Protein backbone atom coordinates (compact mmCIF):
# COMPACT_ATOMS: atom_id res chain seq x y z
CA UNK A 1 0.00 0.00 0.00
CA UNK A 2 1.38 3.36 -1.04
CA UNK A 3 -0.25 6.59 0.20
CA UNK A 4 1.31 9.88 -0.85
CA UNK A 5 -0.10 13.30 0.08
CA UNK A 6 2.20 15.64 -1.74
CA UNK A 7 2.59 19.20 -2.97
CA UNK A 8 4.67 17.95 -5.91
CA UNK A 9 3.07 17.29 -9.32
CA UNK A 10 2.94 13.64 -10.39
CA UNK A 11 2.65 11.86 -13.72
CA UNK A 12 -0.34 9.45 -13.71
CA UNK A 13 0.90 7.28 -16.60
CA UNK A 14 4.22 6.63 -14.92
CA UNK A 15 2.47 5.76 -11.66
CA UNK A 16 0.05 3.35 -13.36
CA UNK A 17 2.89 1.60 -15.18
CA UNK A 18 4.90 1.22 -11.99
CA UNK A 19 1.84 -0.08 -10.12
CA UNK A 20 0.93 -2.69 -12.74
CA UNK A 21 4.55 -3.82 -13.00
CA UNK A 22 4.71 -4.24 -9.22
CA UNK A 23 1.50 -6.31 -9.22
CA UNK A 24 1.89 -9.01 -11.90
CA UNK A 25 -0.34 -11.39 -9.89
CA UNK A 26 -3.37 -9.05 -9.98
CA UNK A 27 -5.99 -10.00 -12.56
CA UNK A 28 -7.51 -6.53 -12.34
CA UNK A 29 -6.22 -3.03 -11.86
CA UNK A 30 -8.66 -0.12 -11.73
CA UNK A 31 -7.69 3.53 -11.74
CA UNK A 32 -9.33 6.86 -11.12
CA UNK A 33 -7.70 10.16 -12.02
CA UNK A 34 -9.18 13.47 -10.88
CA UNK A 35 -7.88 16.66 -12.46
CA UNK A 36 -8.60 20.38 -12.19
CA UNK A 37 -11.65 21.41 -14.26
CA UNK A 38 -11.65 24.77 -15.99
CA UNK A 39 -15.42 25.36 -15.44
CA UNK A 40 -15.71 27.08 -18.84
CA UNK A 41 -12.78 29.36 -18.17
CA UNK A 42 -13.95 30.37 -14.67
CA UNK A 43 -11.10 28.63 -12.84
CA UNK A 44 -7.41 29.54 -12.95
CA UNK A 45 -6.11 27.89 -9.81
CA UNK A 46 -7.36 25.27 -7.38
CA UNK A 47 -5.73 25.25 -4.00
CA UNK A 48 -6.02 22.39 -1.52
CA UNK A 49 -5.07 22.77 2.12
CA UNK A 50 -4.39 19.85 4.47
CA UNK A 51 -3.87 19.47 8.20
CA UNK A 52 -0.36 17.95 8.03
CA UNK A 53 -0.26 14.61 9.79
CA UNK A 54 -4.02 14.44 10.31
CA UNK A 55 -5.02 14.29 6.63
CA UNK A 56 -2.48 11.51 5.98
CA UNK A 57 -3.54 9.52 9.05
CA UNK A 58 -7.23 9.60 8.04
CA UNK A 59 -6.51 8.47 4.48
CA UNK A 60 -4.14 5.72 5.69
CA UNK A 61 -6.83 4.34 8.01
CA UNK A 62 -9.52 4.32 5.33
CA UNK A 63 -7.16 2.81 2.77
CA UNK A 64 -6.25 0.00 5.15
CA UNK A 65 -9.92 -0.73 5.75
CA UNK A 66 -10.66 -0.71 1.98
CA UNK A 67 -7.80 -3.17 1.37
CA UNK A 68 -9.61 -5.70 3.59
CA UNK A 69 -13.19 -4.87 2.61
CA UNK A 70 -12.54 -5.26 -1.13
CA UNK A 71 -9.83 -7.97 -0.88
CA UNK A 72 -7.27 -5.81 -2.63
CA UNK A 73 -3.77 -7.12 -3.14
CA UNK A 74 -2.39 -3.59 -3.44
CA UNK A 75 -3.49 0.02 -3.39
CA UNK A 76 -1.94 3.35 -4.29
CA UNK A 77 -3.39 6.78 -3.52
CA UNK A 78 -1.57 9.93 -4.60
CA UNK A 79 -3.24 13.21 -3.63
CA UNK A 80 -1.94 16.69 -4.28
CA UNK A 81 -2.20 19.68 -2.01
CA UNK A 82 -1.09 23.26 -2.61
CA UNK A 83 -1.83 25.22 -5.80
CA UNK A 84 -2.79 23.49 -9.04
CA UNK A 85 -3.61 24.77 -12.52
CA UNK A 86 -6.36 23.66 -14.89
CA UNK A 87 -5.74 20.17 -16.27
CA UNK A 88 -3.28 19.21 -13.53
CA UNK A 89 -3.80 15.86 -11.80
CA UNK A 90 -5.24 16.21 -8.28
CA UNK A 91 -5.76 12.62 -7.23
CA UNK A 92 -4.92 9.16 -8.50
CA UNK A 93 -6.36 5.99 -6.98
CA UNK A 94 -5.02 2.63 -8.19
CA UNK A 95 -6.48 -0.64 -6.93
CA UNK A 96 -5.26 -4.17 -7.61
CA UNK A 97 -7.44 -7.22 -7.02
CA UNK A 98 -7.92 -10.74 -8.28
CA UNK A 99 -11.07 -9.78 -10.19
CA UNK A 100 -12.38 -6.52 -11.67
CA UNK A 101 -15.48 -5.95 -9.47
CA UNK A 102 -13.48 -5.52 -6.27
CA UNK A 103 -10.98 -3.25 -8.01
CA UNK A 104 -13.76 -1.01 -9.43
CA UNK A 105 -15.71 -0.90 -6.17
CA UNK A 106 -12.69 -0.06 -4.04
CA UNK A 107 -11.74 2.78 -6.36
CA UNK A 108 -15.30 4.18 -6.25
CA UNK A 109 -15.51 3.79 -2.46
CA UNK A 110 -12.18 5.51 -1.80
CA UNK A 111 -13.03 8.43 -4.09
CA UNK A 112 -16.33 8.97 -2.23
CA UNK A 113 -14.34 9.10 1.01
CA UNK A 114 -11.78 11.49 -0.45
CA UNK A 115 -14.51 13.81 -1.81
CA UNK A 116 -16.60 14.09 1.36
CA UNK A 117 -14.70 13.06 4.49
CA UNK A 118 -10.96 13.36 3.97
CA UNK A 119 -9.43 16.45 5.59
CA UNK A 120 -9.00 18.88 2.72
CA UNK A 121 -10.11 22.49 2.28
CA UNK A 122 -10.51 23.62 -1.29
CA UNK A 123 -10.26 27.13 -2.69
CA UNK A 124 -10.83 28.12 -6.29
CA UNK A 125 -9.45 31.28 -7.85
CA UNK A 126 -10.71 32.57 -11.17
CA UNK A 127 -12.42 35.44 -12.93
CA UNK A 128 -14.96 35.83 -10.08
CA UNK A 129 -12.25 36.06 -7.41
CA UNK A 130 -11.60 33.45 -4.75
CA UNK A 131 -14.17 31.07 -3.31
CA UNK A 132 -14.04 28.21 -0.83
CA UNK A 133 -15.58 25.08 -2.32
CA UNK A 134 -17.58 22.49 -0.38
CA UNK A 135 -18.82 19.10 -1.52
CA UNK A 136 -21.89 19.09 -3.81
CA UNK A 137 -25.12 17.41 -2.57
CA UNK A 138 -24.43 14.65 -5.12
CA UNK A 139 -21.08 13.94 -3.43
CA UNK A 140 -22.84 13.25 -0.11
CA UNK A 141 -25.46 11.10 -1.89
CA UNK A 142 -22.67 9.09 -3.50
CA UNK A 143 -20.93 8.61 -0.17
CA UNK A 144 -24.17 7.36 1.45
CA UNK A 145 -24.27 4.38 -0.92
CA UNK A 146 -21.64 2.62 1.16
CA UNK A 147 -23.49 2.77 4.47
CA UNK A 148 -24.85 -0.53 5.74
Partner 1 sequence: MAKFLFFGRLADRVGRNKVELDLPPHIQTTSAVIRWLEAYLDTPNALSDPSLKIMINQEFIHQNGPVHNSDEVGFLPPVGGG
Nearer to partner 1, 24 or 147 (CB): 147
- Judged by CB under 8 A, the residue of 48, 72, 97, 103 near partner 1 is 48
Sign of CA dihedral 132, 137, 142, 145: positive
Min dist CB 48 to partner 1, Å, is: 7
Nearer to partner 1, 23 or 124 (CB): 124
Phi, psi of 139 (to 5 degrees): -65, -40
Nearer to partner 1, 37 or 71 (CB): 37
Min dist CB 99 to partner 1, Å, is: 27
CA-CA distance, 35 to 89, in Å (whole number)?
4
Count interface residues toward partner 1 (CB under 8 A).
Answer: 25
Alpha helix stretches (DSSP H) within the chain: 12-22, 54-69, 100-116, 137-144
Beta strands in 17-88 (DSSP E): 28-35, 43-50, 72-80, 82-85
Nearer to partner 1, 63 or 114 (CB): 114
Q: How far is CA 38 from the centre of its chain?
A: 18
Residues 69-128 that bind partner 1 (CB under 8 A): 79, 90-91, 114-123
Q: Where is 17: in which H helix or E strand?
A: helix 12-22
Per CB under 8 A, residues contacting partner 1 are: 34, 48-49, 51, 53-54, 57, 79, 90-91, 114-123, 132-135, 139
Amino acid sequence: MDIRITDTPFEPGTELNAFSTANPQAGAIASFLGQVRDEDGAVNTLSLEIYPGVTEKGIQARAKQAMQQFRLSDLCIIHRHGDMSVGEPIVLVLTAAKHRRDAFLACDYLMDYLKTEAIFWKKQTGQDGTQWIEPRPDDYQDAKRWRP
